[in-house]
Amino acid sequence: HAAEQAAIKEENLGENHTYFLPYLMGERSPINDTNARGTFIGMTMDTTRADLTQAVLEGVAFAIRDSVEVARSLGIEVSSSKICGGGAKSPLWKKIMANVLGIPLECVASEQGPGLGGAMLAMVTCGAYETVRAACEKLVTVSETVKPEPQLTALYEQRYQQFRKIYPAVKNLFPEIQ
């Protein structure tokens, strides 16, 4: 994926006019629509492969932002988050995510995020740690923190508000194209 991302210019972050709905297998939270599908919108004759790649990264980040907004609507303060796995290897991906979410992202040193999480839950269940928080504090190491940049976060806020309008505008088409 690094080669695909290499063509994306830093000055184009937050400025892409192409959007991507990342619902390739339907979408669970928060729209709960198994008919939802992935779609590009906003392409022109000048749209490049790099624009499409950027739109995919941003579209996934916007979909994650949708879930964060659900948590916030429930009164949960989301002031930072951790990121791990394949996407966490990409400096570009981390930058997009931090700025779309508008929060610092702490990169977990271990690449075994899901496996380590399962093991920590088991350790809490077996009594090795009293709480999940205690297990995390002992076992999860942060290797880097990616902080949002105010100007880029503001650009992504505008784009996110546009992104939120796309699904409602096309949702009735999805059952027809199944």
| pLDDT, tens only, 25-79 | 999 989 999 999 999 999 999 999 999 999 999 999 999 999 999 999 999 999 9
Yes or no: say if 163 and 57 are a contact pair by the CB < 8 Å rule.
Answer: no
* Confidence at residue 9, expressed as pLDDT on a 0 to 100 scale: 92
Mean pLDDT of the chain: 94
Between residues 4 and 101, which one has the greater pLDDT? 101
The reported pLDDT for the residue numbered 110 is 82
pLDDT of the residue at 41: 98
pLDDT digits (tens, 9 = 90+) for 115-124: 888 999 999 9
Neighbours of 142 (CB within 10 A): 13
Give which of 6, 103, 107 is closest to 57, Cα–Cα: 6
Residue 88: which pLDDT band, with cuts at 50, 70 and 90?
confident
User: Under a CB-based contact definition with an 8 Å cutoff, are residues 16 and 34 in contact?
Assistant: no
CA distance 105 to 13: 17
Radius of gyration of the chain (CA): 18
- Tokens matching residue 177: 């194209």
pLDDT of the residue at 44: 97
Residue 108 near residue 83, CB atoms below 8 Å? yes
Query: Which pLDDT does position 18 carry in this prediction?
Result: 98
Instruction: Report how far apart, in Å, the C-alpha atoms of 131 and of each of 19, 78, 137 are.
Output: 41, 20, 10
pTM strictly above 0.85:
yes
